[in-house]
Amino acid sequence: MIDASTGTHLWAQRYDRALDDIFALQDEVAALIASMVEGQAEADSTSRTRRKPPADWELDATFAQGHAFLAQALVGRFWYDNDPRTLQNAWDSARTALALDRSDGVCHQSMGLVLTHMRQHSDAGVHFEQARSLNPLDVNIAGDYASWLNYGGRAESALNVLESALLRDPLPPIWFWEVKGSSLFLLRRYSEAVGSYQKAGDQFFIHAFLAAAYAHLGETQKARAEVQEALIRKHDLTIRLISRLPFAHQVDLELFTSGFRKAGFPA
């Protein structure tokens, strides 16, 4: 890939595959190339933008994706403060984003994420499907869509979505591994869930999920250690608090809750 304006070489790659099914091979390589080119083009565009002096230093209130990403950040805060007002603010930001640009996949992704946490699963699905239609190769959208599938009782489908996304981008955002870990957990593949959670970061909920997985595996000592790690990061963590995950079906929530209980979290 060459920058037409400067002649600068931006990206090249070689793909070695067995020629078993030419059409499947074409689809796979095309998806890989499209994903990698999109990422490289965005990175180059960002780099060039950073080299330009800003026109002014004020925020652009009409930037739809800015509101969309604010909504996503507020959902992240909600995991920590569990304050309904935070989730309401996230919904307000997602609504503003969509009012500004309904043709942007990230805006629909953000509303889907917010509505999932509001337990409006059906409406969330409408926005995720629209986001995927607009940005079919976006790994971030795929990850949040898979999370919605997990919460809706469709962990097997979620895992398929995640595996397909990993073919396009083997280095996804770190939170992607939490979603995959939860898919595996819901499928009762606890050892594999541990492996995925261990790549997902150092937040309190990652340690809590690890504790639950270890507890279901009967590895009590490791479960207790993860409980302590979770409590160090969030001192007020209880089973009641962490069991407010927005699952549509009680049986899925109970799988996590029973793991937290066996691991030794305070009630």
Domain extents in the chain: 176-267
Which ranges in 118-219 belong to alpha helices (H)? 121-134, 139-151, 155-168, 176-186, 190-197, 204-217
Quick one: how far is CA 232 from the chain centroid?
24
**Residue partners of 200: CB distance under 8 A and separation at least 6:** 174, 175, 176, 177, 178, 181, 206
When the candidates are 3.30.70, 1.10.3470, 1.10.287, 1.25.40, the CATH number that belongs to 176-267 is 1.25.40
Tell me if the pTM is above 0.85. Answer: no
Summarize pLDDT for 36-84 with one digit per residue, the tens.
555 445 444 444 433 344 455 475 788 999 999 999 999 999 999 999 9
Mutual orientation of helices 139-151 and 155-168 as an angle, nearest 10°? 170
Are 226 and 236 a contacting pair, CB within 8 Å? no
* pLDDT score at 206: 98
Tell whether the model's pLDDT for residue 23 goes beyond 60.
yes
Q: Are 164 and 201 in contact (CB under 8 A)?
A: no
Residue 177 pLDDT: 98
At residue 70, the pLDDT reads 97
Q: Cβ(259)–Cβ(211) under 8 Å?
A: yes
Tell me the mean pLDDT in the region 78-98.
96
The H-or-E segment that residue 47 falls in is: helix 22-50
What is the per-residue pLDDT for 61? 83
258 Cα distance to chain centroid:
24
CB-CB neighbours of 229 under 10 Å: 16
In terms of phi and psi (left: phi > 0; alpha: psi -120 to 50; beta: otherwise), the region of 264 is left
Task: Write the pLDDT tens digit of every residue in 197-238.
Answer: 999 999 999 999 999 999 999 999 999 999 999 999 999 999
